[in-house]
Amino acid sequence: MGALSGIKVIEMAGLAPAPYCGMILADFGADVVRIDRLGAGSMDTLARGKRSIAVNLKDPKGVETVLRLAEKADVLLEPYRPGVMERLGLGPDVACARNPRLIYARLTGWGQSGSYAPMAGHDINYIAISGALSVIGRKGDKPIPPINMLGDFAGGGMLCALGIAMALVERFQSGKGQIIDAAMVDGAAHLASFIYKFRNNGMWKDERGTNLLDTAAHFYDTYETKDGGFVSVGAIEPQFYAALLQGMGLDPAGLPHQMDQSQWPAMKEKFAAVFKTKTRDEWSAIFDGTDACVAPVLGLGEVHEHAHNRERHLLVADPAGKLEPAPAPRLSRTPGSVRRPIPSVGQHTDEVLDEYGFAAAEVAGLREAGVVG
Catalytic site positions: 122, 152
Q: Are 67 and 90 in contact (CB under 8 A)?
A: yes
Three state DSSP letters for 292-359: CCEEECCCHHHHHHCHHHHHHCCEEECCCCCEEECCCCCCCCCCCCCCCCCCCCCCCHHHHHHHCCCC
Cβ atoms 32, 15 nearer than 8 A: no
CA-nearest of 99, 8, 104 to 50 is 8
CA–CA dist 73, 168 (Å, integer): 12
Q: How many CB atoms lie within 10 A of CB 207?
A: 12
Coil, helix or strand at residue 195:
helix
Residue 306's CB is within 10 A of a number of other CB atoms, namely: 15
Beta bridge partners of 295: 232
Rounded Cα distance between 210 and 229, Å, is 25
Distances (CA, A) of 95 to 67, 171, 246, 270: 6, 17, 63, 63
In this structure, how many other beta carbons lie within 10 angstroms of the beta carbon of residue 254?
Answer: 6
C-alpha of 133 from chain center: 17
In whole angstroms, what is the distance from residue 110 CA to residue 83 CA? 13
